[in-house]
Each structure stands twice: as structure tokens, then as C-alpha cells.
Amino acid sequence: MPAGEWLSLTYENTTWVTQIDGVLAEEASGPQPGVPSSSSTLPGLVTRMIELAGIAPGQRVLLIGTGTGLSTAYVCELIGAEHTTAIETDPAAAERARKALAEAGYAPTLLTGDGLLGHPDGAPYDTVIAFCSMRHVPYGLLRQITAGGTLLVTLAGWGFGHGLVRLTVDEHGGACGRFLPGSAQFMIARAHAHPPRGPVEWLPGEARPSRVDPALLDDWTGRFVAQLAAPSAERVGGGGTQVLLDVATGSQARTRPADDGWTVVQRGPLRLWDAVEDAVGLWRAAGSPHVSEFGLTITPAAQRVWLGDPEGPGWNLPV
């Protein structure tokens, strides 16, 4: 593709998949099957996150997930390359971003490695933005942010729920903040991806009527709530046929439509659907609010997502 066409794609407000199962777009000889492993986030979301994080000249900023380098270039333009550090886990994507940034005239600190570990040698940072999602916030990363600094990150999980949260770091090694309006969805950090599993073997279990419509798990906030309730479960299916699988314990929950509602069959030491029903019940009793009515408090002892206010109902993240 000519350089001019690549440039025009860069400025379209679209997310472009740039790597599938380790194969970069420019290396593919044709349509590439597989699972997306890197992308160029739509510019509107990148600039919105930069604004939400409050990045301003004079700050030191760490970016997790370099991708094509576009988000890093924006931050370099705002605060200067000398104050910008970016980490990319994929070596091929990192090298491509390094070349692209150099061609554009930017020379930030670019690292190849696990962004969840941060970069302690460059700490402390005033702001950290993650352009990938995480199941929880690594404590080591949090402690690289100055007291009063900001971490902007999308919390996600194996239930495919997402919530963008802005945290303010305190002087005790913790942080607190609320989830933000709208929707933001990123690929999960590779270290937090669900474990591999083989074919699912459906085994007998205990059947009963479901207390909630399984299709609630297709709602943006509904699946976020369900994920909080069953954080170790992978969700597959949709609509009235939802399936939760816990690889570690072998626990299963699967729903199906019935004549007068829905039936759920559960098996294993974790009653996954019981937990989902309880959490959904609390959410619905509060009026089924958007994710932005939730918040997150992190202490050295736990990471707790709460509904309404820090003293409200809550769920601990897996750490």
C-alpha cells in the first residue's frame, strides 16, 4: 500500500487490526485468519484518554502498549519525547513502532517487555496510561506513580466486561477512583489472558430455574457485573445460552431457554451462576446503572470494585 494511503488510514477514527497471531499486517500476503494480537486504537479514543488522564507539559508519562506508536507520538507532541516512556510486549510491533516514531521525528524511551511491570528505572511517573486491559492493577506498577499521580486503565476479564477507571494514587501505596462514562475496550494484557483449554466436556450437574435473564450478560454493564461475581470464569455463548467455565476447578454453569424462563445447570465447587445472580440482583436493585456508577479502591491488602460509594456493595478483584 502506498505511504499516502497508510497515512490516510492513520487519521481515520477507526480501530485497525495490525497484527494477527503474531503476523504483522505488512507481512501478510492475503487475508489472515486467527486472533488479533495488536491494533491501532481509533484516534478519538486515544485523545480522549490523554485528556481524561490530564497529561500536561512538565509531567513524566509512562504508556503501556505502544502498538503502532501513534498514541506515543501524540504524547510526545504534547509533553516532549524526553518525558515520554512507552513499553510494548511484542518485539515485532515494538520494532515497527520504533521505526515509525523515528521517521516522524520522535525519540521517546521505547522498551520491549511486559508493560505490567512498568519501568522502575524511569520512575516516578506523574501519569500512566494503559492501552491494554488488565484483570487487576499490579502493585509494582502502582508504586511507580508519584503520590497524587494518575493511572488510567481499562479493567477487563475473561467474561469480556470492560470498564475504564481513573485512579489517583495515594502516599500509602494505594489508589482510588471512579469508572468513567462511555465505553472503552482493549485487548487484554497477554500476562492476564485466560489459560488455554481443550474441548469442553459437558458433564451432568444440578439444574434449576435461573433467577435472571441470561441475556443480561450481553449488556455492557451486565457482563461487567457478572465478571466481578465470577472473575475466574471464562464466558462463552450469548443470549439465553450463556456458558461459564472455570478451568482451575472444573466448575461449569450453562443456561438455556425454557418454556417459562431459563434453566441453569451448574457443576463443580464454585456455584458460578449463583454468584452472578446475586451480583446482578444488587445491580438491578440500584437501578441497573452504567459502569460509571462503580469505583475501585486499591490498598496493599485488596483491590475492591464498589457500587455507588466505597462503603457500598463490592467485589474483590483477583490478584
The catalytic residues are: 39
> What are the φ and ψ backbone dihedral angles of 223, each rounded to 5 degrees?
-75, -30
Taking alpha carbons only, the member of 36, 42, 45 closest to residue 9 is 42
Query: Rounded CA gap, 58 and 39, in Å?
Result: 29
CB of 151 closer than 8 Å to CB of 169? yes
Q: Which three cell numbers stand for residue 195?
A: 489459560
> What value, to the nearest 5°, has the Cα angle with vertex 92 and ends 24 and 107?
115
What residues contact residue 60 under an 8 Å CB cut-off, 6+ apart? 83, 85, 122, 124, 125, 126, 127
CB atoms within 10 A of CB 76: 23
Q: Which three cell numbers stand for residue 35?
A: 486472533
Q: Which residues of 78-104 are buried (b: 16+ CB within 10 A; e: fewer)?
A: bbebebbbbbbbbebbbebbbebbeee
